[in-house]
Each structure stands twice: as C-alpha cells, then as structure tokens.
Amino acid sequence: MKNSIIKPFWILLFFIFLIWERSAAGLNSLILPSIGESYQALKEIALSGILLESFIITLRRTLIAYGLAVILGIITALLLYRFKILQRTFRPLITVIQATPPVVWVSLAVVWFGVADDLTPIFLIFIVSLPVIFVNIFQGLEDMNVELVEMARAYSTPRYRILKEIYLPSLLPALVSALSIAFAFAWKSSVFAEFIASSSGIGYQLSRANSMMATDRLFAWTIVLILFMLFVEYY
C-alpha cells in the first residue's frame, strides 16, 4: 500500500469500526450486525469454500469481459480518431451506451439471454466498461501533440518509432487511468449482474443472503468486495 495513505487510512478505519460497534450495540443484528458477528459470518463462508469459489467465478467473468472491452475500446478509439467519418457516425452511439443506466442493460440482457450464469454478467461488464476505455483513450489521442507527429513524419521517421516514442508515451497516462476506472466499473457491474440474474458468484451470494435476511453475511460479502478493490487500487 502506498506509504502516504497508510497512517490516515488506519486512523479512519479505527473510527469507522468504533462507530460501527457502538451503533450495533443498540440495534437488532438484523439491522446492523456487530463486527464480531460479521467476522464470524466471514469465517464461516471462508471455511465452507463458498468464498473462494464465488470469488473465482466473479473474477473470471470480470476479467473476460474487461479484457474484451479494453481491446475493442482501444481499437475503436484509434479508428474513430483516424477516420473522421467513423467518428461522426459512431461517437453518438458510444455516448448513448455510456448514458444508459446499467439497470437497463441488465434488464435487456435478461430478456435477450435469460438468466444465463455467464452471458448476462459478461454482457453487462462489457457494455459498461467499453465506453470508459474508449473515452479515455480517445481523449488522450486528441490531447496528443500533433505537431510533434507531423515533424517526425516530415523527417521520414519510421512509423514504429513514431508509435513507440510519441504515441505510446502520450497515451500512457490516459491508458492507465482508463484501465483503473474501467476495472472498478467492471467489478461492480459483475456483482450487480450476478445479484439480478445469476445463480453463482459473489453477487448471487449477496442476493441469497438478502433473501434469507442474513445481514451478517451481507456485511461479510461486502467486506470481501471492499478488501479486493483496496488491494487492486493500492498494491
């Protein structure tokens, strides 16, 4: 974890746990389970093997759809930047996709594919992540120093050198930002899709705990999700 956030983070976490435990003491565990009850639930799902199995399923779906979104998003951004006719044709479509709420896409996915364990979550992850990748890469291309590229071409610089020494360094910040933001969207979309239309994965386990009013398990699975995203963000 980045050293600059370690101390403030642990201080904040201490106060969150303190407020959590104090609040839980005066409430029914169905409303707010204590830290101990949530930990016990987390321990139970870990020892039963459900935690690892569900985590692997959700991660697999996320990585498949995320990978497809990254590849197609980058290719689409390059094509639309290079060919203005494609930009005028398809840019509004990407804006429409980005503006459409995930709940609409998952509802349509259920209609189109049914309650498909893999297809519905993968579709939602892909359709939500693609515009994020595209917008960041396309913006990086537009912000690139065009004069530098033209100068390199004027001196007959080989294309691979222009790509390596101008395009890639210019696009790297946009790419890093796109990958980070898109993965967060992809992970949340995967859990959301599983909650609505799947019979496996972390989202399904959340849905199951919710239907059983097992609030301690809801908190346990939420802790798993938060810990994973903290790991991705800071390690």
Q: Where are the domains of the chain?
A: 34-234
Please report, in tens digits, the pLDDT of each residue of the chain (235 residues total).
Answer: 555 556 777 788 888 888 988 888 877 888 889 889 999 999 999 999 999 999 999 999 999 999 999 999 999 998 998 888 988 889 999 999 999 998 899 889 888 887 767 888 999 999 999 999 999 999 888 887 677 767 766 767 777 776 777 777 778 888 888 898 899 999 999 999 999 888 889 999 999 999 988 999 999 999 999 989 888 877 6
N-to-C CA span, the chain = 5
- Burial state string for 21-53 with b = 16 or more CB within 10 A and e = fewer than 16: eeebeeeeeeebbbeebbeebbeebeeeebbee
At position 188, the amino acid (one-letter code) is K
- DSSP annotation string for 89-109: HHHHHHHHHHHS-HHHHHHHH
pTM (2 decimals)? 0.83
Q: Give the separation between CA 55 and CA 221, rounded to whole angstroms.
A: 10
- Note whether 129 and 192 are within 8 A (CB): no
E strands along 46-204, which residues? Answer: none
Query: 34-234 — its CATH code?
Result: 1.10.3720.10
Q: Give the separation between CA 15 and CA 230, rounded to whole angstroms.
A: 18
Q: Give the separation between CA 14 and CA 7, rounded to whole angstroms.
A: 11
